[in-house]
Amino acid sequence: MKTQQILIVLALFISFSSVAQIKIPNKNVRTKESVNTKTDLRVKTITTLKESRNLLRPSLKRPDTQGLSVKEATYHKKLHRLVVELDKNLAECLRLEEQNKELNEEMQTIRAKIKKTNVNLRQEKLKTRLNQLDNKYDNLNIQREDCHQDSEMLQISLKETINQREQNIQLTTNMINSIYRSLKVLDRW
Average pLDDT over residues 3-31: 51
pLDDT band at 154 (very low <50, low <70, confident <90, very high): confident
Angle at 141 between CA 137 and CA 144, to 5 degrees: 135
- Give counts: helices (H), strands (E), the chain: 4, 0
pLDDT of the residue at 25: 44
Domain boundaries, the chain: 2-188
Q: Are the beta carbons of 90 and 48 closer than 8 angstroms?
A: no
> H/E element holding 109?
helix 70-116
Q: How confident is the model at residue 72 (pLDDT cuts 50, 70, 90)?
A: confident
Question: Span 28-57, mean pLDDT?
Answer: 69
- Tens of pLDDT, residues 99-147: 888 888 888 888 888 777 767 777 788 888 888 988 888 888 898 888 8
Overall pTM surpassing 0.75 (yes/no): no
Percentage of residues in the chain with pLDDT exceeding 90? 0
Residue 64 is classified by DSSP as -
Q: How far is CA 44 from CA 14, 34, 37, 48, in A?
A: 12, 15, 10, 6
Query: Considering the chain, what is the average pLDDT of its residues?
Result: 76
Distances (CA, A) of 51 to 60, 61, 109: 15, 18, 29
Decide if pLDDT at 97 tops 70: yes
Q: Tell me the residue type at 128.
A: T
Distance CA 34, CA 51 (A): 25
CATH no. for 2-188:
1.20.1270
- Is residue 20 pLDDT above 80, yes or no? no
DSSP at 61: S
